[in-house]
Amino acid sequence: MKQYDTVVIGTSAGGLGALTAILSVLPENFKLPILVVQHQPADADDFLHRHLNDLCQLNVKEASPGELIVAGRVYIAPRGYHLLVEESHRFSLSVDLPVNYAIPSIDVLFESAADVYKAKLIGVILTGANNDGALGLKEVKAQGGLTIVQAPDTAEVSCMPQAAIGMTKIDHILSLNEIASFLTKLNDVKDTDND
């Protein structure tokens, strides 16, 4: 089975429940860094990453500019900024205009991560109420990465998964309850290959 280096996840409406369902069951030996865009208003507080950190075995934190992306951490895009991945595997932030009415934008993160990680990237689109992420996931696929979409009938809001499915040929359409175990299997491949 192919090895991967990083996971990117995009979600919007209903995302708190979906992220909780996935991230809270990932094992503490999960080695792939996970970069998350959850649409939030710029004036939101820091509840999201603190809440997830309390529930997860992995360390969940807000991404900082210049920060090196390391294994086994979950990084949440800060409110009011686009999150990008640099060639150095560090984060940068942008205050460019919203993309798909959103800042942070899923497309912006996915496209920058696909440019860096190429075929070693896993892109995941979850529940949400707009089309953000569809173009980004198409770019993940174009670069040879693995594409996963939450099955629309298991999404709190199905617009975002449906848009992603309509934009490109998705590798795996999984129910919300299947995504964490699938990612864990991919992580186990990385662990085995590194032993």
Strand partners, 149: 125, 173
pLDDT at residue 44, rounded to an integer:
83
pTM across the whole model = 0.95
- Of the candidates 5, 82, 132, 158, the residue annotated as catalytic is 132
pLDDT at residue 189, rounded to an integer:
72
Contact (CB, 8 A) for 111 and 99: no
pLDDT at residue 46, rounded to an integer:
87
Residue pLDDT, tens place only, 39-72: 988 788 889 999 999 999 999 999 999 999 999 9
pLDDT at 193 > cutoff 90: no
pLDDT band at 191, cuts 50/70/90?
low
pLDDT at residue 45, rounded to an integer:
86
Active site residue 88: no
Active site residue 94: no
- Of the candidates 39, 49, 82, 105, the residue annotated as catalytic is 39
Residue pLDDT, tens place only, 7-48: 999 999 999 999 999 999 999 999 999 999 999 887 888 899
What is the residue-averaged pLDDT of the chain? 94
The rounded Cα 15 to chain-centroid distance in angstroms is: 11
Active site residue 191: no
pLDDT band at 190, cuts 50/70/90?
low
For the segment 96-125, the average pLDDT, to the nearest whole number, is 95
- Of the candidates 5, 12, 82, 158, the residue annotated as catalytic is 12
Domain 6-194, CATH among 3.40.718.10, 3.30.1280.10, 3.30.70.1060, 3.40.50.180: 3.40.50.180
> What are the residue boundaries of the structural domains of the chain, listed by start?
6-194
**Radius of gyration of the chain from Cα atoms?**
15
- Please provide the DSSP assignment of 11-76 as one string: E-TTHHHHHHHHHTTS-TT--S-EEEEE---TT--SHHHHHHHHH-SSEEEE--TTPBP-TTEEEE
Contact (CB, 8 A) for 35 and 109: yes
Give the amino acid at 148.
I
pLDDT band at 101, cuts 50/70/90?
confident
For the segment 139-152, the average pLDDT, to the nearest whole number, is 98
For the segment 137-164, the average pLDDT, to the nearest whole number, is 98
Residue pLDDT, tens place only, 170-181: 999 999 999 999
pLDDT at 195 > cutoff 80: no
Contact (CB, 8 A) for 37 and 2: no
pLDDT band at 187, cuts 50/70/90?
confident
